[in-house]
Chains A and B, each alone.
Chain A
Amino acid sequence: MNTTPVLQLKGINKIFPSVHALKDVDFSLRAGEIHALLGENGAGKSTLIKVMTGVYQRDGGDILLEGNPIFPNNTGDAQDLGISTVYQEVNLLPNLTVAQNIYLGREPRRFGLINWKKVNQDAAQLLKGYDLHIDVTLPLSHYSIAVQQLIAIARGVDMSAKVLILDEPTASLDADEVQSLFRIMRDLKARGIGIVFVTHFLDQVYAVCDRITILRSAELVGEFVAANLSRTELIGHMLGKELAELGEHKAQTNENRDEALLTLQGLGRNATLSAVDLQVCKGEVVGLAGLLGSGRTELCRLIFGVDKKHTGTVTFNGKAVNFSSPRDAIDAGMGLCPEDRKHDGILGQLSIRENMILARQIKQGWWKFISRKEQEEIANQYVKELSIATSDIEKPIEQLSGGNQQKVILARWLAANPSLLILDEPTRGIDIGAHAEIIRLIRKLCDQGLALVVASSELEELVAFSSKVIVLRDRNKVAELEGNDINPQRIMQAIAAS
């Protein structure tokens, strides 16, 4: 293999107003290799890619392309320099033809006019090289995502790419399609193109990649040769803490754990989650472990009725239930803090007070208006109880820090007085102080008799409060750990399936 780096990033820093998104990150890509870029959500993968492709400007560090420093200002610049990107959602134009898409902005011309015949001929010829024998005069949207992705790759490579970045290209492909994508990737590698491969599927990393770079919490963990890195080590690097440093299981067991509150039997949904069995008792915290895309979030959504189940039964509070919307789940006594706080959680323009009382108000019904005075009492009570750092409950919630926003969302559900609270990644993207407070709060709520289901990618966190840990992998439940089995090693082994 050629060992000269075609693309080299040195000491890259990227600082956003509220977060330091990349801290002195190095990355080096050789010509003719497939290099995996791994990390959990928020680790800095997408930021790093956006810096490479000119979407973001770096705040420090150097980018060298074939040894020369480059300063791409936008994706067009990066493309001209030879860095092409293909995203999970194909960013071509669905209503133009395949051929038009491939030659968009660089159409072959004759007498100043576009030579459509040549466009179509060249496009067909180009795609043949990728084993794609399709009608290039049909609109792009006529073809499956897999084909569209190959077309995007063909376009990118044809524009003289030296570096090809594939950002989660396999997320919406089936097994056969993934195999043909891998064939193309190996072809391109043989032609000397350097490929950056971003994915959440570890099998795929080991199937095609030569080297692996891992990021965690905006920092570089390291660069590894794929063949020398075991799965368990890999997951250890992604989720944090080396195996040796991990602590003991600290979760307390609860006395009234025999009273089953929620029982799932074979709960599943086509294409998102295979049958899951689970029992949650009063005063118990059940942790959901697994990598991103393992089915954690999907399970939370299914329980709460955001998505409709296709198989299985749910028993809650001794009654068989079949939720068709979150409203049903809320009325039955559940609450859910979603993973994506900004998109699914906060009502940005509305005040802290309004954000806090809304779930309770909805549960009561619109005509039983909670008076302004009562609203203020509720809000002030929770601001104090959860020590939310704000001087004013009338402030728009978007002006709070991530940790305080998360506390407001927690307060929103506590005010609705649920018997089961589902928290999907409650500590993502919040600072260390608030992180610890939220973990303490989870323990306290559990002591007060509330049942919680908490999905998290942080193992220490799960170990710290769970009395039972469910491990999910590839949309299947693969392990249920209790008692002394709840330790980071066991969880990690279950995630890695070794």
Chain B
Amino acid sequence: MNLTKNQNLRRYLWPCAGLLVLLIINAIIAPEFFHIEFKDGRFYGSLIDVLNRAAPVALLAIGMALVIATGGVDLSVGSIMAIAGAASAYYITKGVDNLAIIIGAGLLAGLIAGVINGLLVGYMSIQPIVATLILMVAGRGIAQLMNEGQIVTFDHAGFSFLGTGDFLGLPFPVVLVIITFIIVQLLTRRTALGLYIEAVGANPSASHYMGLNAKAIKMSVYCVAGLCAALAGMIAAADIKGSDANNAGLWLELDAILAVVIGGASLMGGRFSIFLAVIGALIIQTLTVTIILSGIPPKFNLLIKASAIIIVLLMQSPRFQQQLSQLNFWSKKKESNRV
């Protein structure tokens, strides 16, 4: 019994340990890193900044974790961010003041994008990487059309709260991540949906023999991914008080995929953990901060990031762990003693 428990524990151990190591490095380089101060009803500090900046990728990673669990991938989430931001900006600049309509427009845009991806992947059986590439490219075009080719700026206190407000002392984007996390966690782990998603990813054929409707399940995960991306897109727009179709969420789909993979998920589908996906997003953001704090010239940023990611992924690979333990002279000696 211990063996399997250990395996499950190990899945959580590596990403969490990775995050912890990075945090400790940060604290060594910059002793004030863990310093948090409570001012004007809100927490301030580097740690809070990391959480706040990681929020958009964390949201994307939650949706992406589900998509990847079905054996798919969603390249369009960065573009969906841009569309959602543009949709909200469109209504604000049209003079709509009702926050429900403005946010509703953004979410609806994300949902429609998710439905399109779901139709292409689930019902038309197009390879996910190709199907979502369509919207990845077209999405920015759509957002540009909505913005009429301009960077649309706006001023709407209610909407800006999404990006810059705070709740219970925490930045509101962080609160949104927590709420989304709880909703998706309940939806997948307190109903059978999570198991269905894992079943379709683990063996589509066997799932079919058990009567699972893979099409509907794929549709639902792309919709969740679309909604998460819309939320992230509105946070990004609210943060800069503007909608920039060219740059909102640019390349963030890759960070989201990376976050899920760092969280130990297999791109082949199957087991998923949205908790670990969020940890993955935090690792990426913490690493960025580490590089800045350590004073390494910015031109090394990308290379260091790539190297750190390779290390994290290697540490998670069972084969690498095995080889490592074979290299380890001490453990070899122990084994031969046993014989």
Contact = CB atoms under 8 A, between A and B. Distances in A.
A412 B211 CA distance: 13
B271 interface: yes
B311 interface: no
Interface stretch (B136-144, B194-202, B241-249): B194-202
B206 A369 contact: no
Contact of B205 (A304, A343, A351, A363): A343
A392 B1 contact: yes
B3 interface: yes
A346 interface: yes
Given A366-B191, A394-B8, A348 B210 contact: no
A394 B4 contact: yes
A367 B209 contact: no
Given A344-B205, A349-B270, A369-B190, A362 B210 contact: yes
A346 B3 contact: no
B68 to A, nearest CB: 14
B209 A344 contact: yes
A369 B192 contact: yes
A350 interface: yes
Contacts of B270: 349-350
Interface string B44-77: 0000000000000000000000000000000000
Contact of B199 (A325, A347, A391): A347
Interface string A324-358: 01110111000010100001111111110010001
Interface string B207-218: 111111100000
B8 A367 contact: no
Contact of B203 (A325, A348, A361, A391): A348
A326 B205 contact: no
Contacts, number: 87
B211 A392 contact: no
B334 interface: no
B4 A395 contact: yes
B207 A391 contact: no
Contacts of A367: 191-192
B192 A347 contact: no
B4 A344 contact: no
B157 to A, nearest CB: 39
Contacts of B193: 366
User: Which of A336, A350, A370, A412 has the most C-beta atoms of chain B within 10 angstroms of its own C-beta?
Assistant: A350
A392 B3 contact: yes
B5 interface: yes
A349 B3 contact: no
B211 A330 contact: yes
A330 B270 CA distance: 24
B4 to A, nearest CB: 5
A250 B137 CA distance: 68
A404 to B, nearest CB: 15
A344 B1 contact: no
Nearest to A361: B192
Interface in A33-76: none
Contact of A344 (B8, B196, B199, B206): B206
Nearest to B3: A392
A349 B211 contact: no
Contacts of A350: 195, 198-199, 202, 270-271
A279 B321 CA distance: 57
B192 A370 contact: yes
Contact of B209 (A336, A361, A392): A336
Contact of B211 (A362, A368, A369, A395): A362
B211 A347 contact: no
A414 to B, nearest CB: 14
Contacts of B192: 361-362, 366-370
Contacts of A345: 206, 209
Interface string B1-36: 101110010000000000000000000000000000
A346 B203 contact: yes
Interface in B203-235: 203, 205-213
Contacts of A306: 208-209
A369 B191 contact: yes
Given A326-B209, A344-B206, A358-B199, A394 B5 contact: yes
User: Which of B5, B191, B193 has the most C-beta atoms of chain A within 10 angstroms of its own C-beta?
Assistant: B191
A329 B208 CA distance: 12
Nearest to A305: B211
B3 A330 contact: no
Nearest to B212: A362
A348 B266 CA distance: 14
Given A358-B195, A366-B196, 17 more contacts: A304-B209, A325-B213, A326-B209, A331-B211, A343-B203, A343-B206, A344-B203, A345-B209, A346-B206, A347-B206, A348-B203, A349-B198, A349-B270, A363-B211, A366-B193, A368-B192, A369-B190
Interface of A: 304, 306, 325-327, 329-331, 336, 338, 343-351, 354, 358-359, 361-363, 366-370, 391-392, 394-395, 412
Interface of B: 1, 3-5, 8, 190-193, 195-196, 198-199, 202-203, 205-213, 270-271
- In the complex, the 9 A-B pairs of residues with the closest C-beta atoms, listed nearest first: A327-B211, A347-B202, A366-B192, A330-B211, A349-B270, A394-B4, A326-B211, A361-B192, A392-B1
19 contacts: A304-B209, A306-B209, A325-B213, A327-B211, A336-B209, A343-B206, A345-B209, A347-B198, A347-B199, A347-B203, A347-B206, A350-B271, A354-B195, A354-B198, A359-B210, A361-B192, A367-B192, A394-B1, A394-B5
